[in-house]
Every structure is written in C-alpha cells, then in structure tokens.
Amino acid sequence: MTPKDLYRQLVKRAREGLKDAKRRRGRKRALKNFRERFVNILGKYPVSRLELQRRIREIRAYSISSIEDLLRKAVNQMRENGIVVLMAEDANKARKVIVEVLRNAKTVVKSKTTTGKEIGLVKTLESSGVEVIETDLGDRIVQLSGEPASHTVVPAIHLTKEEIAKLFREKLGVEVEPDINELVKVARIGIREAVLKADAGVTGANAVAALEGLICLVENEGNQRLVTSVPVKHVVVTGVDKVVPSAKEATEVAVCTAMFGIGTISSSYISFIQGPSSTADIELETVKGMHGPREVYVVLVDNGRTKAVKEGFGEVLYCINCGSCLNFCPVYDSIGERFGYVWLGGRGLVFTVFHAGPEKAAENGIFFCTECGLCTEVCPARINLPKLMERVR
C-alpha cells in the first residue's frame, strides 16, 4: 500500500466514524458514565490511584521480564493440577489445537476472550461445523446483530433497547417489549438453555497464577461461572502474557481491572480454577467430573508476544485489558472501534504490529493517535503509550 493509498483509507475510516451518529451517541453515554465512576471510586478508595498504579506496574513489569521462567512454572503446576496445557506459537497453531480439542463438539458456549478474537476463534469453529453461542449479554447481542463490537467491556453500547427488542424478535422469535428487565430475562433464558446443551465451554483468562497453577477470571454477569462449570469440557484461550507470580498478584490485577475499567470496588465474581472438577467422597478414591468439567484445557497463545518483548516493546504487554484507556481517549471517543484492530485503541494498535504486522496497524489507525497521554494517566499499569507509539511509528 502506497502512502497516498493509506492516507485515503484513513480519511475514509475517520469520516465513517465521525458520521456514525448512532454509535457515537451510545459511546458518549457509556464513556461519561465510566469516567464519573472511575473518579468516584478512586476518590473513595483508601489507597491512592498512583499507589495502585505503582503496584500493578510492578506486578506486570516483573511478570513480563520473567515471562519464560513464570510460564515454565505455570505450565508445570497446571499439568500437575490435571489441566492439559497446549502451547501455540501463532494464531494458526492456536486454531488447529483448539479445533482438535473440540473435534467432537456440536455446540460450544463462550465467554469473553479477546485472545480468541485475535486468532479468529469463532469463525474457525463455525467453519468446522460447531455452533458457538456467546454468553456475555453484550457479546450475544452483537453476535445476533452481526455488527462489530463497539467497546472492550460493553460491546453493544451503540444499540438502544428498542433496537435490541427488534433484534430479539427477529433472531430469537420472541415477542418482547423494549424494557431492559424483559430483554435481560429473554437473553438469560436463551443463554442458559444453550449452556445446558453445550458440549464445551470456552473462556479467556484475566491472569494465570504460576505458583498455584490457577486460572483467574473476572466477571459481573455470572455467565463465566456457567460456562466453566456446566459443560463437561472447559477450554481456556489466553495469551502467554497473562502469567503472574501467584494468586496474590492475580487478585490484585482482578480488583484493579474492575476499578479502572468500570469504576467499581470489585467485579461481582472473581473465580480461580485449579483444574477439573473432582470428588473423593466414596472410599477416598478421586473421580473427575462431579458437578464441573471432567477435562480442562489451557491454550497459551504467543502470537507475537515474545517478539514484542525481544524487540524492546514488552511494556505493551503490561495491559490488564480493563478498557480505561479507551474510556478517556479523545480519538476513540470520536470514531470508536475504527481506532483499533481486534484489540481497540492505541495500546491495541501498538500490539497489532507484533501479532498482525505494521501494515495492519497503519490501516486501522495507528497514526490517528495524538499522543496526548491521557491513556497513560488512567492506565493501571501506567503504560507509556505515547512513547511506544512514537517508537513503533
């Protein structure tokens, strides 16, 4: 692509974002709410924002600088816990191993995993004949609409309750009024029915605790607890960068994900998963698969992460995926998801260079960033995105 072609594409992309009034309205409504809650919760918390940021940066800096050692410990402990751990050096390998793990599945229920989006997981499974049902409400709405997600945390902020009621009538065949409680009730029933018939559940991970071999998950809706508990098989798809030293650090990351991302003291649920469900209540003989899954798989995806560290861009992996940088970004505020590729915003585009290539990052807006630095101010790990952006450009 020539510089002139790139310029034309970026102008077109920016204009589309600026003209998309519906998404802008929804985005501004959500971002105003997130910003106010962010200021409120951090103003009340007994530890200062700077102290929280210092601690999260310390955790993430140590984890990324020690990534090989921590990964080795995590893999060994997870395997000792009865988890099947599979390593994938790139997206193609990740897709292959996941398809193999789910080769006999007909229906899969899925919760949020941006790493899954990164490798094109849903499209791959569907092309293999597997029905995939999103269980996060926002993701389910977006899945039914066929439109791209508009935010990391709240994917359907661009749709009104009237539009969602119409969507449910058309796609689910359910007569429902544009009342939020009724819409949630309809979605709840459909998602729970899907979970009960599913052959497997797929999730991401907010952190992987190396010492204990634990998977840490953060959520508000409770759908992850269903996805990880009801089907007989649970598959975790996450990046190698999610590893932290222990459950203590994983908990700190989990709490700050909620505080910085949605402005709450904690998420409704923080789950730790050590391995398959088991019982030893009959003659002390351990049997897997009592109430939860009999099999747990963890697919650890590299896909450019090691390359980023080796090339001196390890700081981009300090991210805990809270979405705070998006909530305060003037570019995202203006054009939304058109500023990003899979991972949204400036941080996402710097990482895009390593998992999809510099041209893909350029095409999707890496030159839109004004380097204002607001993202750094509100990032729990204080990632210096202006500096990274300047270097990668």
Per-residue buried b or exposed e for 206-222, using 16+ beta carbons within 10 Å of the residue's own CB? bbbbbbbbbbbbbbbbe
Res. 128: pLDDT tops 90 = yes
User: What percentage of the chain exceeds 70 in pLDDT?
Assistant: 100
Contacts of 33 by beta carbon, 8 Å cutoff, 6+ apart: none
Q: Please write the tens of the pLDDT for every residue from 57-83.
A: 999 999 999 999 999 999 999 999 999
Task: Give residue 99's pLDDT.
Answer: 97
Residue with tokens 């098989």: 233
Structure-model confidence comparison of residues 153 and 105, the more confident one: 105
Task: Give residue 147's pLDDT.
Answer: 87
What is the average per-residue pLDDT within 26-40? 90
User: What percentage of the chain exceeds 90 in pLDDT?
Assistant: 86
Residue 380 Ramachandran class (φ > 0 left, ψ -120 to 50 alpha, else beta): alpha
Question: What count of residues does the chain have?
Answer: 393
For residues 184 and 300, what is the distance between their CA atoms, to the nearest angstrom? Answer: 33
Q: Please write the tens of the pLDDT for every residue from 236-257.
A: 999 999 999 999 999 999 999 9
Tell me the angle at which helices 21-44 and 3-19 cross, rounded to the nearest 10 degrees: 80
Phi, psi (deg, nearest 5) at residue 256: -70, -25
Q: Please write the tens of the pLDDT for every residue from 335-392.
A: 999 999 999 999 999 999 999 999 999 999 999 999 999 999 999 999 999 999 999 9
For residues 337 and 29, what is the distance between their CA atoms, to the nearest angstrom? Answer: 15
For residues 389 and 376, what is the distance between their CA atoms, to the nearest angstrom? Answer: 12
